[in-house]
Amino acid sequence: MLVFPMWAASILVSTNAGDAVNVHRSVRADVTSAVAADDSRSPRDLRPARRASIGSLRRRAGSDANSCTDGMAEIDGRFCIDRYEASLVEVLADGTEQPWEYFRTPAEGIVARAVSVAGVFPQGYISGAQASAACEASGKRLCSSVEWKTACMGPQRTVFPYGNQRQVGRCNDNGRSSMRFYNPQLDDTPEHGWMWGAGGNMNDPRLNQLPGTLTRTGERAECTNDYGVFDMVGNLHEWVDDPAGTFQGGYYLDTHINGDGCNYRTTAHPYSHHDYSTGFRCCADLPDR
Contact indicator for 257, 181 with CB cutoff of 8 Å: no
State the pLDDT at residue 197.
Answer: 66
| pTM over cut 0.75 | yes
Task: State residue 182 phi and psi, 5-degree precision.
Answer: -90, -10
Is the confidence at residue 218, as pLDDT, over 80? yes
The pLDDT tens digits for 167-181 are 999 999 999 999 989
Residues paired with residue 91 on neighbouring β-strands, in sequence order: 97
Show the domain range for 35: 1-289
Task: State residue 265 phi and psi, 5-degree precision.
Answer: -155, 120
Which stretch of 20-29, 150-159, 197-206 has the lowest confidence by average pLDDT? Answer: 20-29
CATH number at residue 110: 3.90.1580
H runs (alpha helix) in the chain: 21-24, 54-61, 128-137, 145-153, 178-182, 195-198
Between 1 and 231, whose confidence is greater? 231
Angle at 233 between CA 227 and CA 237, to 5 degrees: 120
State the pLDDT at residue 226.
Answer: 97
Angstrom distances, CA of residue 282 to CA of 144, 167, 256: 10, 26, 23
Contact indicator for 252, 138 with CB cutoff of 8 Å: no
The pLDDT tens digits for 106-130 are 988 888 999 999 999 999 999 999 9
Nearest C-alpha neighbor of 275 from the set 136, 151, 127: 127
The span from the CA of 34 to the CA of 32, in Å, is 5
The count of structural domains within the chain is 1
The pLDDT tens digits for 46-63 are 333 333 343 333 333 333
- Rounded mean pLDDT, 127-148: 96
